[in-house]
């Protein structure tokens, strides 16, 4: 029960990989504050799934790509204790398309949704960690950032930025006892990937070492490791969880 009574913030925490992360921390006894933008049904389902766990999940409706939304989330998570222990920046979207034909709105939406929360939530989250000189921030990135994926120039750019952001921030806050890392996820079975063309999925799976799609829980396990004391000397790193795609 390493995370018993720890205060955890997960953006995009009520669906897909984010939900798996929220549930994993709650299983370990943590108080999880799971941000979501608009899907009330998914938020309610996540709460039902958390019933009976050692910890708890509190859904927080907030647009974390804005200052106000990030402040609302972080302040609610820190309200009782005055601090947070872990921030997982997971919120993100995809809008795939060939760059030559990509709509400006599709570029802007992905960059805005995937990058702005990193800045706003990390900025305000750090302020709830610095006084205690401890904490962990984890960015959810993608193997697209490392290998490149045709039709995902906007998504790959945003996820590559998440890795660079983590490396730079790790150097800023390490002296305060705060660690910053990233997890680069491969093809994971979520609603986001369910809409991918089957031939593309089959090609990725065939080219991987393990020959299968990953589960959200397998990404969550990597996140919990990086947030734990077992990773106390790890910062500024990217842990690839892709089944051997790279």
* Residue 155 among the catalytic residues: yes
Looking at residue 70, the DSSP 8-state letter turns out to be H
Structure tokens given for 1: 């029960």
Catalytic residue among 36, 116, 155, 233: 155
Nearest to 121 by CA among 236, 8, 243: 8
Question: Cβ distance 185 to 168 under 8 Å?
Answer: no
Nearest to 137 by CA among 84, 68, 193: 84
Question: For 66, what's the count of Cα atoms within 13 Å in the CB-facing half-sphere?
Answer: 7
By C-alpha distance, which of 75, 78, 40, 74 is closest to 59? 40
* Beta strand spans in 167-227 (E): 178-185
Give ∠ CA 169-172-174 in degrees, rounded to 5. Answer: 100
Catalytic annotation, residues: 155
């Amino acid at each position: 029960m390493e995370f018993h009574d720890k205060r955890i913030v997960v953006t995009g925490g009520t669906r897909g990989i984010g939900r798996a992360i929220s549930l994993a921390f709650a299983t370990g006894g943590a108080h999880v504050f799971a941000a979501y933008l608009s899907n009330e049904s998914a938020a309610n389902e996540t709460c039902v799934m958390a019933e009976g766990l050692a910890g708890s999940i509190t859904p927080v409706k907030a647009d974390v790509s804005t200052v106000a939304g990030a402040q609302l989330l972080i302040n609610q998570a820190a309200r009782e204790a005055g601090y947070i222990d872990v921030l997982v920046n997971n919120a993100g979207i995809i809008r795939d398309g060939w760059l030559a034909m990509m709509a400006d709105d599709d570029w802007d939406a992905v960059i805005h949704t995937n990058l702005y929360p990193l800045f706003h939530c990390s900025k305000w989250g750090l302020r709830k960690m610095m006084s205690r000189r401890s904490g962990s921030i984890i960015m959810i990135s993608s193997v697209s950032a490392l290998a490149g994926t045709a039709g995902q120039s906007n998504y790959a750019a945003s996820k590559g930025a998440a890795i660079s952001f983590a490396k730079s921030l790790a150097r800023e806050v390490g002296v305060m006892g705060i660690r910053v890392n990233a997890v680069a996820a491969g093809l994971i079975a979520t609603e986001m990937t369910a809409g991918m063309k089957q031939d593309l999925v089959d090609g990725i799976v065939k080219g991987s070492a393990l020959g299968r799609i990953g589960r959200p829980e397998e990404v969550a396990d990597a996140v919990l490791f990086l947030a734990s004391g077992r990773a106390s000397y790890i910062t500024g790193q990217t842990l690839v969880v892709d089944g051997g795609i790279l």
